[in-house]
Structure 1
Amino acid sequence: MGKLSPISCDKAKPKTGRDRLLPDGDGLYLRVRPHGTKTWILDYEFRGKRRKPTIGSFDSNGAPGESISEWLRHGRLSIAQARSIAGNWKAARRAGHDAYVEWEAQLAKEAGDVAEVAAAKAAEAAQPTVSDAVNQFMSKHMGGKKSAPAIRYRLDLLAGILGDRKISTLKRQDVIAALETIAEGRRIDSDGKRVPAKQLAGEVLIQAKRVWRFAEAREWVSTSCIERLTRRDFDAKPVKRSTVLRIDEVVELWRALNDSQRCKSDPVTIAALKLVTLTGQREREVTDAEWSEFDLDAGIWKIPANRTKKERAHLVHLAPQSVKILTELKTLTGKTAFVFASPIKEGQPIFGRSIAAALGKMFSRGALPNVTKCHVHDLRRTLITRLPDLGIEPFMGHKIANHVLPGVLAHYNHAEYLEQRKEALEKWADRIETLAAQTNVIQLQRPAA
């Protein structure tokens, strides 16, 4: 039996300035601190190493539970519970193991497990959602690019369905389900234009793959779950345009642009549509052009890399007809930075789709009855296709359009063909102008392939 009793423990008084140790037996002591706090300690030696661990505080009522581990976790021990622990651990030492060290190791492991779980939860919480990944992708890769609004629109369709989900938790079926939802329910694109929903879903997939590659590079996902996904997996096939106008149709369009009764658009938009027709450059490359890019005396237009689709600076020769259009336009917009300055929004160019709308209105109003219905980009394809009819090498149209030549040509042929490109665009403009001045236009060129 120990030397202490519940009453003596309860009535034990502290000493001034130092601890008071009251022995009980089996290395168990009641320690009374100078300020009156009472704790249980063990004093023992095991394999040459002395220890004095605290096992809990004194409480006459003790801890709830029936096991030593429950008592130790509670931390408030009665004299009977403290004696039980001391006796049990003494027996363990005699059996060759230190129960106190084992208990500390167990607590450390549990603490480590808790910390590991907490770290895992924190890591999971830090994982970006689909919306986060889209926003970071747009900020880091699409900032300032002219295609950013269209790409943002498509990615927002996906984020509208999966935006709150952690990108690391998504499976391929999740993305397919979202794309199928888009394919079934969307009919309008970012410009308010009606498009096949399945086509739009396919365009969303293309941009989603870019976001997942972005996430993979940052180790938000181990591998992209949609890299091998194709449009046919959810029946969204691209609609490839192949419209090419005949030369007589191009001439008829040119006549309409010069007829205020047939074309009701403002002079700036008309000038932009004419320049697209004569140069074969992309809509936004034309509509966003600045006067600083042009040398009208030399007949040169230098498009900076940051305004081209492939981010390659491009030189465009201006036929005399193009120079005349720009010279006349300068009286309207010459005091602004933009060649095709918006007549509505100060300090901005006309919107890229303005010329598409102008062309569409001429068709809808019946102003082009003898012209195949087409889009602005078809004028670019028409120029590339029809130049060979003027005796121009077929690849020259692609050089004018700033395309990368195919196959071995791209690898070995780095020539710019500046003089040949100039000659080609001048022949193209002369042919249109000459035929537009005639009463009848005869179709001479071969049909488009």
Structure 2
Amino acid sequence: MSAQRKAAISVVKAETRQRLAELDDAEEYDEALLNGYQNGANGVEGGFARVSATPSLGRGARRPSVAGGDRTLSRVSVLSAAPKWFVRDYLATKEIILSSWFNLLLVCVPLGWASAYVGWGAVTTFTLNFLALIPLALILGDITEDLAVRFGDVVGGLINATFGNVVEIMVSLFALFKDLYTVVAASLLGSILSNLLLVLGCSFFLGGLFHSVQTFNAVSNRACSSLLMLACIGVSIPSAASVILIPADLRQDWILDVSRGTAVIMLICYVCYLAFQLKTHADLFKGEDDDAVPMLTLGTSIGLLTAITAVVAVCSEFLTDSIKEVSESTHLSEAFIGLIILPIAGNACEHLTACIVAMRNKMDLSMGVAVGSSIQIALFAIPFNVVVGWISGHNFSLDFSPFAALVLLVCVVHANFVTADATSHWLLGIQLVALYCLVAVAYFYQ
């Protein structure tokens, strides 16, 4: 997650943060919860008479009602006995969980696990765990952004580098450990193309419906475009050389050596990108919510992050376990499943956030979400998988198929061409989405 992606999510969550900040300023609602209910219904009524004008805490976070009877008062008494930090974390966690209709898909988590253990079939297991990853990615994005707000740009950037695309990384790692190298390459390539073409294209299109021409920062756009081209070249060299230059008997060792060296260079470039974004040129990526305060306490954030990451890991394992059977039973290639289907789960958060901020004419933030996430995958997730494979004895390389390398090159060149003048409108969005559909059709019939 880039600094702009963090800022974009902050914009989307600004209403929630404002409500919690108002409660912090007045401390009326917390005090009412903690101290206002000792005298029964009269205490409740009196406690809330002072805060009747305070905004609600969002979807699902209702104030206790006197009309609720003993059941409501029982719930209130539990809250009144709890520490103040617990009450705030409870409200903030409730807001995060209820903040999107996507989170209704959390019911697929236990169903997906049950399908894997009971044996409801590979397609059912794949579908349920795939759907479960969508809300998990969304919630992880909220919690990661909350930690980034707490620790500031530098540490926050490192947290985002680790957890910003945790779903894509988890899925690719489990596929790597199962020697599904085609799925690893396709899922990471698909995540880049999904962000760069589908997410950015929808943002341009929806933003263009509300604003005839939109602009974004040209300097940061050029920096991001050149980094994407660098990553594209890093993937293309082993792929092309394996076909054109290297004798068959020397090919495998040469490709692995070049891929591992390239992966280290790409990781160094990613660290330099973080320094550029967070320190030396932070003003180019500065968001509008720099004074935001975290919604959750540190312990709760870390606990939720750990728990949800563990759940993502289990869902990812069940998902990757079923890919081969799904491919055979549906006659969809592993490359199509990895390139087109799997990125949907990890990119739901980016897609929603980028479109919302684009419609609000915040194109720098929208670009940061889509392009920044593509850079994270290209310069961090792909070389990270190569290095992990190197350490663990799984020979994953940057030797993507020549067609995959060509697709990546063409898409990056076209996206750079579309964004070259730092302006956008709805027709450019249509072009990007159309190119994504062309790639999807090509892989569907591959």
TM-score interval for Structure 1 and Structure 2 normalised by the shorter chain: under 0.3
TM-score by length of 2: 0.26
Higher helix share: 2
Higher relative contact order (CA 8 A, sep 6+): 2
Higher strand share: 1
